Amino acid sequence: MAAAAAITLLSAWGWRRGESWVWWTLALAAVAGFVPPVAAHLAIGYVDLWHLAPVPLGMALTATALTLSRPYLCAR
């Protein structure tokens, strides 16, 4: 919940043209949020597709959002 609140606040008040730090913060937060669970599941061999289905969906949505927001947030 704390991460969700932080990301929501960052998106609400930091979202301005040329604020590339916002884009990078969100991108790094996505990496920190998705990589450890995937690595842990792969390491222990628990790769049930039903259990892991939300992960690729979340990754796809996050990648789409980052791709669409990059021209605006990283504008010079």
pLDDT 10s digits, 39-72: 999 999 999 989 999 999 999 999 999 999 999 9
- Of the pLDDT bands very low, low, confident and very high (cuts 50, 70, 90), residue 29 is very high
- Please tell me the pTM assigned to this model: 0.85
Q: Mean pLDDT over all residues of the chain?
A: 93
Residue 3's pLDDT is 83
* Angle subtended at Cα 11 by Cα 63 and Cα 14, rounded to the nearest 5 degrees: 120
Beta-carbon-side half-sphere exposure of residue 58 (alpha carbons within 13 Å): 13
Dihedrals phi, psi of 6, to nearest 5 degrees = -65, -45
How far does Cα 19 stand from its chain's mean position?
17
Range of the structural domain that residue 63 is part of? 2-73
| pLDDT at 15 > cutoff 90 | yes
3 state SS of 69? helix
What's the total number of domains in the chain? 1
- Of the pLDDT bands very low, low, confident and very high (cuts 50, 70, 90), residue 28 is very high
